[in-house]
Amino acid sequence: MNKCNLPREPEYREWDKQKIADLVLTDKKLQTYIKIAKEYVFNINTIAAYSFAKNPLAGKYASVIFDKEEGIVLCKLSTSCILQRFTMFSLISGVTSQKMIVKLLGYKYNNVLSFGHSAYFSMHGYTQGTSDWACLHNMADYSAVKSTIVFKTVVWGEVEYIFSYYDCVKSIGSRIREALHHNQHNHAMIHKYMDGIGYGNCDLDRSSILGNPEFQISKINIKASCQDIGERVVKDWHINCLRIFAQEYECPSIVKDQEDIYSQSKRKKSIH
């Protein structure tokens, strides 16, 4: 979709949290683009989300989301609640598989939820409660200095937008690079799986930073398959259950022997 339901006037093409607070409730020209929502779920049309949980707009709107179809959404849910709904209804295994990929890549932080063709980037990490978000599949470029990051969107109908985020984590520059690497790895893994079942072309849109070669590492080694990730998720769930059982029934030996218990509980690999 090459259209965007946001105001096209130059004065409304650059946004940050302060400008949102100053304009969205008072600027009459913006009212036709504003939608009030009790609930919201991140999706492919989400561009950016800002958290106002600490100081809700009009005393009731905890987040403001820019959406290609919905326009400027004022939502009573905090971004952490929006994230929770997204992980519950749109992600297989919640965020566990995402964290597994972070470990495989040797990274420490959980800032991105990536799916190859889409990626949602948190300015403070999605395990840190409420946060501001940028959807990388709708971004064409970025610049990061210290704890500030500025994104430029892809072009929609000859118009592009700027979204700025201040007071991010100090390592925001390295974290966005890790996020892009995370998505590149995830896309390669998913592409290999989908190609194996004959799904067809899974190429990325080069107009966004997810598909632009300038933002990708030259070569990527696929360290795990979708099946490997799935098995790691099951193992993690299994071991957590054993830990809870051990704590409930005061059987610490179960935790020590958890690897043996898990391996013995697994069904042998077969086609059945």
Question: Average pLDDT for residues 189-209, to the nearest whole number?
Answer: 64
pLDDT above 80 (res 79):
yes
Task: Please tell me the distance from the alpha carbon of residue 247 to that of residue 152, in angstroms, as a whole number.
Answer: 50
Q: Is 55's pLDDT higher than 90? A: yes
The pLDDT assigned to 116 comes to 75
* Per-residue confidence (pLDDT) for residue 141, from 0 to 100: 97
Tens digit of pLDDT for each residue in 227-252?
Answer: 555 556 556 655 555 565 566 656 66
- What's the token pair of residue 153? 């969107």
Q: Select the more confidently predicted residue: 169 or 107.
A: 169
**Radius of gyration of the chain from Cα atoms?**
21
Q: What is the DSSP letter of 269?
A: P
Give percent of the chain above pLDDT 70.
69
Mind listing the pLDDT tens digit for each residue in 81-92?
998 888 876 665
Assess whether pLDDT exceeds 50 at residue 124. Answer: yes
pLDDT of residue 179: 87
129 pLDDT higher than 80: no
pLDDT for position 65:
98
pLDDT at 194: 52
- Residue 271: the pLDDT is 43
CA 30 to the chain's CA centroid: 27
Contacts of 166 (CB under 8 A, 6+ apart): 16, 17, 147, 148
Residue 212's pLDDT is what?
81
Q: Which two tokens stand for residue 158?
A: 């000859």
Tell me the pairing of strands 139-145 and 148-153: antiparallel
